[in-house]
Amino acid sequence: MRVLITGGAGFIGSHTADALLAAGHQVRILDILDPQIHGPAGAFPEYLDPRVEAIRGDVRSLENVSCALGGIDAVYHLAALTGVGQSMYDMHNYTDTNTTGTATLLEAILKSDASLKRIVLASSRAVYGEGTHFCTDHGKQFPAPRRREDMERGIYAVLCPECHRPLTSEPTAEDRPLNPISMYAWTKKHQEDLATYAARTFGLPVTILRYFNVFGSRQSLRNPYTGVVSIFYSRLLSEKPISLYERGTPERDFVHISDVVAANLLALEANCTPGTCINVGTGRSDRIGDVASALAHSLRKAPVFEDRGEFRVGDIHACVADLGRAHTMLGYEPRVGLIEGMQEFVAWAQRHDAVDMYQKTVDELTRYGLFGQATKQS
């Protein structure tokens, strides 16, 4: 097939392009080359396969998108701004890029002569808010955002709304209620809503993949808003301490880029009902402190941790993927473990320059009242 990837010069997009080419497809990408990700030069990255037809353009431009759709059989829509913390105060840019960009793409498809076989939308586990939890007395819970006053008292766990005891995290399935917390999460829900509307109204063959915490080679080493792995890496390289937010207790599902790409290709061929949402993760829970330790081990460095009771407003405490639907509908099975994945990331990252911009993010979050510190440890 002839496949278009919006945001195709980025982390997930470029790896997906490689896999599509290896499978015999033709690939075209549309990317604005955001300086925060790609630097100020405005050039396509060196890792991009020369067989890719690369177009510099804006997913918010109906003209740019319509031109990119010419002769295309399938679309991966990956173009988006992705920083949770930054989205909380950069609301216009996130809504404009993520929501308006998705509406523009769908409109361009509807107004084109294209007969697409598949549209794959990259969504996020962020749409859930807090992951699914369980109380021994009150059963399954879909928690609301944690209260800032609790975290300022050093209470970071998710509490049962009935008995106020700490809840236990359990795998999060796609059919649970959505409860976005950050502006980024809201824009991902907007994308899903727009895609579902287009699927139901016009029959567009949309499959929605909810990625969990993706990491691996080619993730930006200069953009501090796109994930803790890059932040931890720059701190370890510069031999600076790593601040363990919420005592290092938050739980995440870290999935390696190769597994995400495998899911992307499976979604291209799977005969899913238009508008179907599918989790892409590992089903494994890792604490943030364990992620930092795995990275340090791969770098052969001894990590220095600081626990200052810090937390970020808009962060969740725990969310891990239920992969039942991914197994059944895609035949997806994650294959890369945390240690192996970190080794792949480090082998790539050591050949590139990293920039430690951690303090910049702290300063910006503090400026907008989004960075907190417990006054006591509970």
Residues annotated as part of the active site: 184
Distance CA 366, CA 354 (A): 24
Task: Name the CA dihedral angle for 119, 120, 126, 129, rounded to a multiple of 10 degrees.
Answer: 60
Tokens of 333: 């099975």
Query: Which residues touch 201 (CB under 8 Å, ≥6 apart)?
Result: none
318 - beta bridge partners? Answer: 251
Residue with tokens 């929501």: 99
Which contiguous run of DSSP H or E holds residue 158? none
Strand 133-135, strand 168-169: pairing: antiparallel
Is 216 in contact with 257 (CB distance < 8 Å)? yes
Residue 363 belongs to what H/E stretch? Answer: helix 358-367
Q: Are 163 and 154 contacting, i.e. CB atoms less than 8 angstroms apart?
A: no
- Tokens in use for 150? 């609790």
Phi first, then psi, for residue 135 (nearest 5°) are -115, 130
* Pair of tokens at residue 160: 């049962």
As beta bridge partners, residue 321 has: 172
Residues 277 and 255: their CA atoms lie apart, in Å, by 17
Rounded to whole angstroms, the Cα distance separating 374 from 245 reads: 10
Residue 47, classified by CB atoms within 10 Å of its CB into exposed (0-12), middle (13-18) or buried (19+), is middle
C-alpha span between 170 and 271 (Å, rounded): 29
Count the neighbouring beta carbons within 10 Å of the beta carbon of residue 214.
25
